[in-house]
Structure 1
Amino acid sequence: MKNILFLFFAFCSCFHSGQKKKNPKDLLDDFSNDRFYKDFKPITFNNRIKKFPFNKTSKIKLISYNLDFKKEPIYTPQLIDDSIAIKNDENRKLPVELSDILANKNLEKAQQQKNLTLMEIQELSDIIFNECAKYRMGLFSKAGCYFPRNAILFYDENDKIFAYFEICFQCGGFTSDPKNLFEDDFDCDDIYSKLEVFFNKVGMQTQYKEK
C-alpha cells in the first residue's frame, strides 16, 4: 500500500513539474480575456438612441464646475470679535452645487459648457451602454469624498433640462435625476476612465489643476 501511495505522489509530482509554467503576462492576459463576454454584441447607435433619456433628447450639454477647488473646503467658524476674519470669511469663494447652476437658464455658475455634436453623442452613448456590458464581471470601487466637477445635461424639445447625470471622476461616484438614470450601466471602474477621456477630448476639464 505504501509503495502504491509513493508511486501515486511521485507521478503527480512529475506531472506538475512537467507542466509549462505561465509567466505573469500570460496569467494577466488569461484574466483579462475571462472578464469579457466572448459573444458580446454592442448595442448599435440606432438602438441606443431609442433608450431613455436619448429618446427624448433634442440637445445634450456637458458642464464643468468647482475646478478651482482641490477638494471640498472645510468650514471653520470665526470668532465673533474677529471682524477681519469674519469679513474674509464672507468674501471667500465657495464651491457650487449643481442645483445652483441649474437654477439659471444660462448656467452662468458653470465654468465650462459644451453642446455635443451628433458624432459626440454617438460616442457618449456607446460608452454609457456598451462599456460595462461587455464585462463578464465588473470590477468596481469608490474612493474619497464625493466632490463632483462635471455633469451631463439632457434637454427636451422645449430647451428644458429634463434629466441630468452628475459625475465625480475623482472618487468614481454619481448622482442623477431621475434617480436611477444609468444606474445599471455604471457597474465597472473602466467606464469612469473612458468617460473622463471623452470629456477631456471634447475640451472639458475634469480635475483640479494647480495654478
Structure 2
Amino acid sequence: MNLLSEYNSYKDGDLRKDFKPIPLDKRMARFPFNKAAQVRIISYNLNLKRSSASTYAPLPPPPKTKEDSARITRYYDSIKINKRFELREAIDHSAFEGIQESRTLTSAEVSELTDVIYNTCEKYYIGVVSTSGCFFPRNAILFYDKNDKVFAFFEICFECSGIESLPRKMLEPIEACEYLYPELEKFFKSKGLTTEFIERK
C-alpha cells in the first residue's frame, strides 16, 4: 500500500499512527513564544451576549427632575458596563480596564500551552478546516516583551471555534483545526479563567 492510498484509507479525525509530538525546544523556538518575556491569558466580554453587544440603544431625553437625573446616570453606567471590550483598541491605547480575569503563566504552564497549540491538531488526520463567521471573543493569550508591552496575541472565540492573531497568520490553518478549541478551553478553565457568557443576577 503506497502512502497516498494509506492516507486516503483514513477518515477526518482519525488518530495518526505516525504522530510524534513536537518537542518543547522546537515549540518554544516558534514566534511569538521565542520573543515573549511573559505570557498572560485573559477573559473579557463575559457579561455580554453576542446578540446584545451591537444593539443600539436610543439616548434618553434631557432630565427635568432629580429622578430623571438619577435614571440617566444609571443609563450611562449600564452603557459602560455593557460596552464591548475590543482587544486591539485596548492594546493601541494601553487601556485594559475591560479585562475581567487575568493570569500570568509560569514556565511550566507556557510549556503546557505550547503543547496544546502545536501538538493537538497534529494528532489527527485532517482534510478540511472550516471556520464560523460569528467570532465574538471572550479570551486571549497575550505576549509581552521585556518592556511589558504586548507585541502579539491570539484572540479566541470558543463559541464558534475561531482564533485570530496579531500579527496575522501566526498559526497555519491546519493548526487551528476543530480539535484545538476543546483542549484550549480546558487549559483556560484549568487555570481558573471563564470562557463563556455569565448571566447577571
**TM-score between both structures, scaled by the size of structure 1:** 0.74
**Which one of the candidate residues 76, 85, 92 is aligned to 2:56?**
76
What is the alpha-carbon distance in structure 2 between the residues aligned to residue 198 and residue 65 of structure 1? 16
Question: Does 1:128 find its partner at 2:139?
Answer: no
- Indicate if the aligned counterparts of 2:163 and 2:176 stay in contact, CA closer than 8 A: no
SS at match of 1:35: coil
What is the alpha-carbon distance in structure 2 between the residues aligned to residue 174 and residue 146 of structure 1? 8
Q: Deviations over 1:96-154 (max 9, x none)?
A: 11123324547222001100011111110001111111212256444462110000001
Question: Does 1:157 find its partner at 2:136?
Answer: no
Q: Which moved more, 1:35-44 or 1:194-203?
A: 35-44
Question: Does 1:40 find its partner at 2:19?
Answer: yes
Question: Does 1:148 find its partner at 2:137?
Answer: yes
Question: Does 1:179 find its partner at 2:168?
Answer: yes
Change (3 A) 1:81 1:70: closer
Q: Deviations over 1:160-211 (max 9, x none)?
A: 2111110000111122101111133533211000000000000110001234
What is the alpha-carbon distance in structure 2 between the residues aligned to residue 36 and residue 168 of structure 1? 25
Matching residue's letter, 1:182: L
SS at match of 1:186: helix
Q: Aligned-pair distance for 1:70? A: 2.4
Q: How large is the Cα RMSD of the aligned pairs?
A: 2.8
Change (3 A) 1:118 1:79: closer
- Indicate if the aligned counterparts of 2:156 and 2:164 stay in contact, CA closer than 8 A: yes
What are the within-5 Å matches in structure 2 for residues 43-62 of structure 1? Answer: 43-62=22-41
* 2:6 equivalent in structure 1: none
Structure 2 alignment gaps of length 5 or more: 1-8
What is the alpha-carbon distance in structure 2 between the residues aligned to residue 154 and residue 34 of structure 1? 31
Q: Aligned-pair distance for 1:31? A: 6.7
Matching residue's letter, 2:136: F
Question: Does 1:168 find its partner at 2:163?
Answer: no
Change (3 A) 1:80 1:112: closer
Greater relative contact order, per chain length (Cα 8 Å cut-off, separation 6+): 2
Larger radius of gyration: 1
Q: Which moved more, 1:70-79 or 1:160-169?
A: 70-79
Q: Aligned-pair distance for 1:82? A: 8.1
Structure 1 alignment gaps of length 5 or more: 1-29
**TM-score between both structures, scaled by the size of structure 2:** 0.77
What is the alpha-carbon distance in structure 1 between the residues aligned to residue 105 and residue 176 of structure 2? 24
- Indicate if the aligned counterparts of 2:141 and 2:153 stay in contact, CA closer than 8 A: yes
Q: Aligned-pair distance for 1:48? A: 0.8
Q: Aligned-pair distance for 1:75? A: 2.2
- Indicate if the aligned counterparts of 1:100 and 1:109 stay in contact, CA closer than 8 A: no
* 1:200 equivalent in structure 2: 189
